[in-house]
Structure 1
């Protein structure tokens, strides 16, 4: 639609151009409005369009040479653009404004420049074209990724356009004018780049979420969450989301863009926490990064409220600092481990992110021009960063697989060595039996012969007898532990009254007195006549080991309480009652770490230091209890003593389930 614009009344006529008009020629395809516009800031949101025209006439618009970011500001920004269509140039043009993620873009144009009914409202002689992500996509003048509108310009006559910009997000405006044939080509170029960008992110998401779930790897899952947040952020901040969901409310757009940015901060913090092993290497930083994760998550609801103007700068500042720290630590890791290729990829990813954040912040705050790059500088940086991170994590998976294979080989070798050592110890123990028995027998004969009369010699002979007895017991203990571990010793259960079982277990112990002369053992047997089906000798060894340990490792003036009874009913799906035996002492107790190791072969707690023992007693007790189908539990804390509990389900009564039978086993010596 060619012709002259219908200019507004003189009182509202635009003033002289504050900047040189943009000249549109026949050869023009695309040209930026940089250097051809002026700006007026309205911090109070008080200016009407008539006030703006008056301010323009008074020369209050400031000419600008480059488009520069205004930062995240509540101020309203007014822009004046001047266009001049040269002779021979086409009449129809397209004005494109960006970025896509701006709340309100109200373009005031002479009514004659806007074809069709798309423009409405405005002052006398002007129409208002409303754009921005708060305007439903279907109501925009053109359905494009950014905010675009067609214009029909008069030939040889300057035209002034006024743009009002308001947004809760950062204002980084750029504007360009396209010839109609060139517009489609430039849009295609942009969409190809974005298609490549989103395609790479989608492939990374699908691949790494599958790997993360398969391997149950927190670093891979955190990386996937970070990539997903980047995907969602740019999907809607770039305007692609508006193409896919045309009438999505602006508040939802704000939530998706701002919320995904906050969740990206949380995911990135979790990812670097795991990649750099902060929990182990830097516990304080681990807690700081955990706090950053929670801060990002808790800030998500503010993305669709006025508080976003406060939370966004705070979260992004903290995220920038954490990224710099992560970059420093990743570079340190790469320097300390030059052979670790994945560390170099982590360092490259972190440095790319730092570079992108730096350029983006300089652009948003106006230090660098908005038109410096084809797209958001951080978009390039984040693409490089996620590719480097993905490569580093892939190498990490490969390294973990190699380490897992090596660990399996080392474990197999250690198992083989342990088996060889076990065989050697068993063979050696067998060889020790005969000479020890000979020494003990000879010493006993000398002692009984009466030929040794001096007290010192008698003491030495008794020491020989006692020492060889202990050595013989230790040999039998080694052999019995090995047999239990290999399953070579079978139980021979029989139905015996409970009190007889306890008598067998506590034989020789009940009379032990403390420092005050009183017996230390306090024994309680509930339903003593109740029959239980157990291997009496073996169970006696198990209970005896617990009682001896309690007496040995608790102060001599403290009691050791032993309680035994049969709980009625069906326990663990087995017929009969459950035999429960508890041994409680008032010793020094054990730490949680020591409690976890109870039952490990040769393990002795710190509280046993200075007291003789082999570390096999509890190991054998646990094996014997397990052979009966029961459990051994311990409750202990440092300074409060310990309570050991044996539970044997389904043994309380004649009807109790049968246990594994086999050849008779002799009573094993206690530790």
Structure 2
């Protein structure tokens, strides 16, 4: 079908040579149907001999002989109509011809010669044009024979046209504008994909950039634009073109395999396939560098045609098996393969050279590149969406995991806080127990020291007094009475000490025995005062209620200790003052004052501690329980005891207060 379509578009020129008529209304005339061809293997350069002796063969279409070492001669007879302008241009459509010579018979005999082509410096070309072009001044109505001698290491396929000079100049300008726009779009596409590749860092984008760069390089060199603009000699441009074709074979195969996703179906075959094509492409490039242009490019183009057939067959097979990438591959690469195949077959002279075969590769490549660009952007967008969805799923999983971890951490934290609280309680209990143990040990040491001193001394006094009475039975009565009074005083001292110890133990119990009942405070105070010598205690308790609720035994111990403490520290020639009053709220306040040395300020905070004895009490009898016991008794009565004055500026005064207690509060 492809061959049939191409032959349908072939121009139907005459089989015999005919003159080419140049009229005023035709800006350009194609040489198709008017050209004759002679393929000279000897390299003859004599145009007269060639014109006379060569076996000319008419060309039915455009020139197309492919790669050949022969010298080609074209004969063209032109006739200018009298109404047509005299200035014309002969133009060859192939920009890669190495050497082109135009011969024209001179009016006086001989031949006029003009030369162009890639082997010649472009400054020496007859016209500054992309292709080999020759200016003509033609006489009106006369037949002019033109001989064109062509040699090239590239494929020789070209159209031969004759243009009016003004039309040719205008066409050249438009052609360069079209080429500028065409290759400008390619360059813009490359720039955009460079940014796209730098942004995505994806392998397919990198291969696509290389793929497009080689494609545009091949098309620009084939069109002769870099050679024309930068004055690149043919030896260099042909070498670059040949190497680009070989590299394009490798890169195109790699990119096609990636687009077909062949590795996902046949991974080993895919690797071996790419490796084989790479080795062959490098081999062909070596042939170009070491042997010649055609020796490397021709097998590379033939291999390209083979790969087109192979990749097309693989994609059809995979499409039938349900491989989704094969569908797009057949569309995008199919168009490209058709265009490249037509171009290669035209270079090999399988297809004739005309407007369709000349531009088939460019059109196919453009459509292919645009389709691949849209494909890559769509693929990247799909990958981006898939990545976003995967990231969202990962974020949900992480959030769920974090919630689970937070719950677990909260549970563990609560357990840890509970354990910390339990350990704090245990620590407090242990600290309390240690403190209690320390206090008990301290109290035990103090108690032992107190007993060893306070009990030994009275017992020693009793023992000595009893010995004196026993050794002197006939002693005077006054002396005996004095010794008996000494015994009674010592026994009372021991009794008070025992009472204080028992009362202290009673108060230290977890549930101290507290028995409040109506008490006659005036009577209780009177009994206390009588325990001291007459005149030692100066008492005043007027207004004290008789039916006050309290524990009489404990109150008596507290007040006795306050009086005994005042008696020990007061000078013998001074009295101890006791004053009891009833408060406005019905409570009772007792104030006990005595003279003596002031209490040191540093000892005031420790006065009510158990077994504490100040510096002034070290040489006086006492157990260090009195004031401690007074405070406990006051607290159990919801009262208090405190040092009112320490003796610095006034007498020493302790105050003891108890609030009123009703029947409802008689039990602690």
Query: Above 0.5 in TM-score?
Result: yes
- Residue 36 of structure 1 is aligned with which of 23, 34, 38? 34
Alpha-carbon RMSD across the aligned residues, in angstroms, is 3.2
1:527-579 superposed Cα distances (whole Å, 9 cap, x missing partner): xxxxxxxxxxxxxxxxxxxxxxxxxxxxxxxxxxxxxxxxxxxxxxxxxxxxx
Aligned residues: 400
1:68-110 superposed Cα distances (whole Å, 9 cap, x missing partner): 4211222221111111112222211111012101111122122
Tell me, yes or no, if the aligned pair for 1:212 and 1:221 is still in contact at 8 Å. yes
Tell me, yes or no, if the aligned pair for 2:127 and 2:133 is still in contact at 8 Å. yes
Tell me, yes or no, if the aligned pair for 2:227 and 2:233 is still in contact at 8 Å. no
Tell me, yes or no, if the aligned pair for 1:83 and 1:160 is still in contact at 8 Å. yes
Tell me, yes or no, if the aligned pair for 2:102 and 2:134 is still in contact at 8 Å. no
Instruction: Give the equivalent residue in structure 1 for 2:181.
Output: 196
Select the structure that is richer in helix. 2
CA spacing shift, 1:377–1:305, aligned 2, 3 Å: farther
Give the deviation of 1:206 after TM superposition: 0.9
The 5 A counterparts of 1:106-117 are 106-111=101-106
Give the deviation of 1:196 after TM superposition: 2.4
The CA distance in 2 between the partners of 1:185 and 1:264, in whole Å, is 35
Structure 2 unaligned segments of length 5 or more: list them.
1-14, 414-668
Aligned partner of residue 96 in structure 1, secondary structure: strand
- Residue 353 of structure 2 is aligned with which of 370, 386, 391? 370
- Residue 65 of structure 2 is aligned with which of 62, 65, 70? 70
- Residue 142 of structure 1 is aligned with which of 102, 119, 127? 127
Aligned partner of residue 376 in structure 1, secondary structure: helix
CA spacing shift, 1:46–1:317, aligned 2, 3 Å: same
Give the deviation of 1:408 after TM superposition: 1.3
Instruction: Give the equivalent residue in structure 1 for 2:515.
Output: none
Instruction: Give the equivalent residue in structure 2 for 1:258.
Output: 242
- Residue 115 of structure 2 is aligned with which of 130, 144, 152? 130
If the length of structure 1 is used for normalisation, what is the TM-score? 0.55
Give the deviation of 1:112 after TM superposition: 5.7
Structure 1 unaligned segments of length 5 or more: list them.
1-16, 114-123, 431-671
The CA distance in 1 between the partners of 2:241 and 2:208, in whole Å, is 19
The 5 A counterparts of 1:354-369 are 354-369=337-352
Give the deviation of 1:220 after TM superposition: 1.0
The 5 A counterparts of 1:145-294 are 145-246=130-231, 248-283=232-267, 284-294=269-279
- Residue 299 of structure 1 is aligned with which of 284, 296, 310? 284
Give the deviation of 1:267 after TM superposition: 1.8
The 5 A counterparts of 1:143-542 are 143-246=128-231, 248-283=232-267, 284-300=269-285, 302-303=287-288, 306-330=291-315, 345-373=328-356, 375-416=358-399
The CA distance in 2 between the partners of 1:324 and 1:390, in whole Å, is 24
The CA distance in 2 between the partners of 1:272 and 1:346, in whole Å, is 8
Instruction: Give the equivalent residue in structure 2 for 1:607.
Output: none
Q: Return 410-419 or 164-173, whichever deviates more.
A: 410-419
CA spacing shift, 1:389–1:331, aligned 2, 3 Å: farther
Q: Return 174-183 or 402-411, whichever deviates more.
A: 402-411
CA spacing shift, 1:83–1:308, aligned 2, 3 Å: same
Give the deviation of 1:367 after TM superposition: 4.0
Aligned partner of residue 64 in structure 2, secondary structure: coil
The CA distance in 2 between the partners of 1:190 and 1:23, in whole Å, is 25
If the length of structure 2 is used for normalisation, what is the TM-score? 0.55
The CA distance in 2 between the partners of 1:62 and 1:226, in whole Å, is 42
Aligned partner of residue 198 in structure 1, secondary structure: helix
1:626-662 superposed Cα distances (whole Å, 9 cap, x missing partner): xxxxxxxxxxxxxxxxxxxxxxxxxxxxxxxxxxxxx
